[in-house]
Structures are given as C-alpha cells and as structure tokens.
Amino acid sequence: MPHDSTRYFHPGKTIEVDGTESLRRHRSVASTAKIERWAAGFRSIAQKKPWWRLSEDEETDLLNKEFEVGDVKFRAGDIKDLADQVEVPAGPREHHPELNQLLHTSLVYDRARELSDDPMVILAAILHDLGKTETNRDEFPSQHRHESLGVPMVERVVRDLGLGKDYEDFAKLVAEYHLTCHRAADLTPKALRRFFARFKQDREKFESFVTTCEADHLGRHGVREPYASKELLQSKWDEFSVPLPPTASSTLAIGGRELMQELGLKPGPQLGQILTHLRDLVLEHPELNTPEHLMGVAKNKLYG
C-alpha cells in the first residue's frame, strides 16, 4: 500500500483514498443519516436523560470523532458497538467523573496516542470496554462482567475493520484482563503466575498491554496520578513470568464465533462465562486446547 494511502471504514465497505483528501468527502450517506437518527433520538429524550448522558451537541461530536488505527480511519458512529456506548455510563461517578462511556473511550484513545504509536495498542484502547453495552442495565452504573462480554464483540469489530489476527488477539486480551491489571496489587502469587502466563514470555506484548491499561487509567476526567499497576507488574515480571510447557497456549482453539454458531449462543453473560472457563482450563491443561475437546466442555457447561 502506498505510504500516502488511507483506508476509510464504512459499514459494509472500506474505501482507499490516495493523498490527503478529506474523509468528509468519502463518508457514506447511510452513515451520516445514522448520526442524524441518533441526534433525533437524543432530542426526543432530552427531558428524561439519565445522569450519564451528555448534551445533544456533545454526543453528536463524540459520534463524529475520527479514530485512526494505522492506515484505517473510522468514526465512532460508523461502528454500532462503539456508537451504542453513548447510551451507557462509564461506571460509578467516583471512578468515572467523565460519566459517559463513549466519552471515556474517546479520552482513552487520546491518552493511548500520547503513550504509544503502536496501532495495536491504539485499537485495543478503543475497544477495551465494548462489553459495557451488554451488561445488565438494571445494575447501572455498575457493569459487572463487561470484560468477558466484550470479547466476542471485539472479534466482530476487528474483523469488520479488516484488521489481522494479531490485532484481534491483542484487543481481546486487553478487553478481558484490563481490570486484572488495574487490580494488580490484590493479586496472589498464583494469580500473578496465571496472569503473566497469558503473555507466553513475550515481554513486548506485556509492555504493550500495560501501556493500554495505563491509557484506560488516565482516560478519566481529573486523573493525573501515575499508574501504580505498571511499576508493580514490571517489577514482578522476572519472578512470576515463568516459562510454560512447550504445548501451553493462552489462545483458545475455538472462539466466540464458533461457540455462537455451534451452540446458538448470542453475545452476553453466558457466552462470556463459557469463554472464561475455557481459557482458565487451557492455562492449567494446555494439552486440552483442541477444538473438539473445548466444544465438548462448552456443551457440558451449557447443558449441564
């Protein structure tokens, strides 16, 4: 691909543009109309918005914000799983004074670009909280299990964007384990070994993961303190990042897509719980990481 080429993502297609032509000239009418429908929806509920919703102008600006991942550019409003974040809280006020999840995602993206020029870090920063839109709305502003719920959503978005398996695997790792990173001070020695095992002795991947989590930490209004988990985990790497057996793998032989196709599942808590169970099994028994065995385990967990 030429150095000055850029791929613009739109729902259902990717457009390649040479030079520095404005993205605005290449946006689809359908995508623009979608933004207008959302704006109309904002107006209709203006008098009964929950506390985490923003003004119509602020939310429209967030939906129109352009994200850049390598040579791929897209707006939040082009990706349904991202656009839906405008409707949900980022979390409890004491943890997320920015209130709105899409605003939090926008801030995390900005911090990631300040911390790294690695496009995989930047993409994972954008997608790390996708699961929050699938959590139980009766429990808002808490969003329990959003980490595992986001994994199949990350798979879908990365593939829609036309990015590679390395992007998908890293973004899923961040989505599922970013809270583990935030809570590093509470991890037992056994939990630390299990955590580090997921990086399979790849220090560079570990550092990229921690940098993405640091962007998440800093992507909140008013947060300036250093990310304590970063220094703590870096200091533990040599002690707890022990080599795995040659056959060990933290990458499942099957993923959310295969489970949904075979078992008729949909993105949600049940799928996330099964994926977490399978990953824990494979970390303890890597020799069991085959499609046939894992599908059988998934069926047993689903049907009892």
What local confidence, expressed as pLDDT, does residue 110 receive? Answer: 98
Q: Note whether 228 and 252 are same-domain residues.
A: no
pLDDT tens digit sequence for 211-245: 999 999 999 999 989 999 999 999 999 998 876 55
Tell me what pLDDT residue 130 has: 97
- Choosing from 243, 272, 293, the residue where a domain stops is 243
Percentages helix, strand, coil for the chain (3-state, rounded to 5) are: 60, 5, 30
Q: How confident is the model at residue 283 (pLDDT cuts 50, 70, 90)?
A: confident
**Mean pLDDT of the region 66-93:** 97
Q: Are 56 and 131 in a shared domain?
A: yes
CB 193 within 8 A of CB 69: no
Using the predicted structure, report yes or no on whether residue 277 has a pLDDT greater than 90.
no
* AA letter at 244: L
Check whether residue 225 and residue 253 sit in a common domain: no
Q: Which residue type occupies 295? A: M
Whether residues 238 and 293 share a domain: the answer is no
CA-CA-CA-CA dihedral for 234, 240, 241, 247, to nearest 10: -160
Q: From residue 70, give the alpha-carbon distance in Å to each of 4, 6, 179, 209, 271.
A: 12, 9, 26, 18, 31
Q: Are residues 59 and 169 in the same domain?
A: yes
Q: Going by DSSP bridges, is the β-strand pair 66-69/72-75 parallel, antiparallel, or unpaired?
A: antiparallel
Neighbours of 221 (CB within 10 A): 12
pTM comes to 0.72
pLDDT at 282: 82
As a whole number of angstroms, the distance between CA 67 and CA 217 comes to 19
Token pair belonging to 157: 């978005």
**Is 136 a residue whose pLDDT tops 50?**
yes
Residues 233, 220 share a domain: yes
- Residue 32 pLDDT more than 70? no
Residue 23 in this model has a pLDDT that exceeds 60? no
Spatial neighbors of 239 by CB under 8 A, at least 6 apart, are none
Residue 206 makes CB contacts below 8 A (sequence gap 6+) with 196, 199, 233, 237, 241
User: What does the mean pLDDT of the chain come to?
Assistant: 87
Q: Residue 239 belongs to a domain with what CATH number?
A: 1.10.3210
Do 189 and 279 lie in one domain? The reply is no
Report whether 123 contacts 154 (CB < 8 A): no
How is residue 100 annotated by DSSP? B
DSSP state of 146: H
Domain count, the chain: 2
> Which residue segment(s) compose the domain that 284 sits in?
246-304
At residue 73, does pLDDT exceed 80?
yes
Residue-wise pLDDT tens digits, 143-185:
999 999 999 999 999 999 999 999 999 999 999 999 999 999 9
**298 and 167 housed in the same domain:** no
Rounded distance, CA 35 to CA 11, Å? Answer: 13
* Residue 231: closest CA among 248, 217, 250, 251: 217
- 156 and 298 share a domain? no
Q: Are residues 134 and 150 in the same domain?
A: yes
